[in-house]
Amino acid sequence: MSTEIQFQSIADLLALAEQEGVGIGEITLRFEMQQTGFTRELIQNAMLARWSVMQEAMEAGLREPITGLGNLVSGNGYRMGAYEPKLLDPILAQTAARAMSVNECSAAMGRIVAAPTAGSSGILPSSLWGASQKLNSTPDDIVNAMFVAAGLGMVMANNSTISGAKGGCMAEVGVSTGMAAGAVCEMAGGTPFQVTQAMALAVKNSLGLVCDPVGGYVEVPCVKRNSLYSIMAITAAEMALAGISSFIPPDEVIAAMKEIGEAMPSQYKETSCGGLAITPTGRKVMDTKPHTVGTP
Amino acid sequence: MSKYKSVFDIIGPIMVGPSSSHTAGAVRIGRFARTILGGTPRHATILLHGSFLETGPGHGTDKGIVAGLLGMETFDPGVKESFEAAAREGMTFTVGEVNLGPKVHPCSAKLILESQDGRTIDVIGTSIGGGNVAITEVDGYQVRLSGEYPTVITVHEDKPGVIGKVTGILAEQGVNVAFMNVARKQKGREAFMTIEGDHDVPAEAIAAISAVDGIRLTRYLPKLT
């Protein structure tokens, strides 16, 4: 435990994990212990508390239909949760339901955990839930996987951005999907290398994703996108576990994400001035919503 | 230096939705500004810039800033009804727009706050992503405050010895200085200092700093939650 844990890149994280013979989650936990001086138990409990909030948010939208502030999404988590799937594995269908449930909870100003953001808050909890059902995981396994997600997320946040206003939706949903892919890969017994590859595969598949929320609400396309990307995260993990790696190494994928985000025009970066927001249907929402400026 | 230094900057905050940058970040900017003012403002002029302005009401940015000015936390279910809470607590406010220029982060707001005893401060706050924030300007002084460390702010006469006395008091109390910044608009007039420490600063130390010759104003900002 005396090794100094510092990482600026995914390559650093991987090298540390291989050198210490532990997972990415353990390296990230040790990093947090060194940074804060807090005990392992205290930090793990703080993470477990976040998992509890995530579980409550997943349940909220399954119990009853939730409607977002803007009235653009309503009861999708509930609908999917009650549905008998015809194509998907039932656990995956329930994973998709839980992702929407969390985002609908968030859209209604309910309580969630940003992971890394609120707009992308459904992906990590639902993927963790899906993997834990499949693997019969313990809460300790889930907490460890959350440290994997956090370690990968820190590198992406520091070397690119997690602000949709700076980098488009790939900075939020893309990063979140990469975090979740790595997390569930380690849960399923993936090696540190496979964890980094799962992340790279997921992020690579999210490059260029724009943030064009209809009416300025975090509802369309955000809620359903969380659902679809939670399944992608699990698929990326499965591909990495099968021995498939990313042709472009993870740190280069992150650099590409940064470059694309900087070049992306501002109408696609959380301004609701482009894309879906300015379609005829999108404009109708914008024209009828309450105005920002003024005295209430 | 890396912006995100803790796992809980990435998995967190625990917050009410819908947006970490535009809702939770807005709450924290409001809370931060309120601490700098020293309490709930009598009146607040909230000026939104960039993406904060464009998506504002859909992301609850206005409600978030008002909630923060009232002292609410990011996870307080009351954020949703903060306008009503402001009316109950007697805080008036207006929401307007401002263009702070292309170099300022798109998720930023300028807050002009009037205290209960009639003082006014201007604060510019930025939401950098995932609910993390920075205060970048106070009363026209360039600063960079993250809220991640207990922070002492002073406004003092720009003359030799003042800074040494302040850091001396902190040292006596066992507070290690992590980051420090001194800014001034004109030599020999007024200076603005921010000190971010590794430990909480006891009330006696703040009182002692306030009593140093040349100090005009002292504020203590505990670590932002």
Say which residues have a Cβ less than 8 Å from residue A276's Cβ, sequence separation at least 6.
A212, A213, A214, A220, A221, A282
Q: And the tokens for B39? A: 């309490």
CB B58 within 8 A of CB A69: yes
Are A69 and B14 an interchain contact pair (Cβ–Cβ within 8 Å)?
A: no
| pLDDT, tens digit (0-9, with 9 covering 90-100), for A202-218 | 999 999 999 999 998 99
What rounded mean pLDDT belongs to chain A?
Answer: 95
ipTM: 0.95
Judge whether B80 is closer than 8 Å to chain A, CB to CB: yes
A56: how many CB neighbours lie within 10 A of its CB? 16
* B4: chain A residues, CB-CB within 8 Å: 153-154, 157-158, 162
Helix (H) or strand (E) segment spanning residue B216:
strand B215-221
Closest listed residue to residue A102, CA positions, set A83, A84, A129: A129
* Domain ranges across chain B: 7-145, 151-221
Question: What single DSSP character describes residue B77?
Answer: G
Q: And the tokens for A191? A: 């090696």
- pLDDT category at B1 given cuts 50, 70, 90 is very low
B225: how many CB neighbours lie within 10 A of its CB? 10
Q: Which fold has domain B7-145?
A: 60s Ribosomal Protein L30; Chain: A; (3.30.1330)
Q: What is the pLDDT of residue A293?
A: 55
Choice among A26-30, A189-193, A286-290, B219-223 with the minimum mean pLDDT? A286-290
| Percent of chain A whose pLDDT exceeds 90 | 94
Are A166 and B58 an interchain contact pair (Cβ–Cβ within 8 Å)?
A: no
- pLDDT category at A296 given cuts 50, 70, 90 is very low
Q: What is the pLDDT of residue B54?
A: 86
* B47: chain A residues, CB-CB within 8 Å: none
Choice among A128-132, A204-208, A236-240, B216-220 with the minimum mean pLDDT? B216-220
pLDDT for residue B69 is more than 70:
yes
Are B128 and A293 an interchain contact pair (Cβ–Cβ within 8 Å)?
A: no
* A226: chain B residues, CB-CB within 8 Å: none
Distance between CA atoms of residues A96 and B140, nearest Å: 48
- B134: which strand partners? B126
| Percent of chain A whose pLDDT exceeds 70 | 97
Closest listed residue to residue A173, CA positions, set A132, A216, A202: A202
* B48: chain A residues, CB-CB within 8 Å: 292-293
Closest listed residue to residue A124, CA positions, set A53, A201, A46: A53
Note the pTM of the prediction, 2 decimals.
0.89
- B114: which strand partners? B43, B120
Relative orientation angle of helices B25-37 and B61-69, to the nearest 10 degrees? 30
Q: What is the pLDDT of residue A214?
A: 95
Do the strands B151-157 and B215-221 form a parallel or antiparallel pair, or are they unpaired? antiparallel
Distance between CA atoms of residues B122 and B41, nearest Å: 12
- pLDDT category at B185 given cuts 50, 70, 90 is confident
Are A162 and B77 an interchain contact pair (Cβ–Cβ within 8 Å)?
A: no
Judge whether B21 is closer than 8 Å to chain A, CB to CB: yes
Q: Give phi and psi for B177, each to the nearest 5.
A: -80, 120
CATH superfamily of B151-221: ACT domain (3.30.70.260)
Q: What sign for the dihedral angle of Cα B145, B149, B155, B156? A: negative
Say which residues have a Cβ less than 8 Å from residue B64's Cβ, sequence separation at least 6.
B22, B23, B24, B25, B26, B27, B30, B79, B82
| Stated length of chain B | 225
Judge whether B97 is closer than 8 Å to chain A, CB to CB: yes
* Domain ranges across chain A: 10-285
- pLDDT category at A294 given cuts 50, 70, 90 is low
Domain A10-285 has CATH 1.10.4100: yes
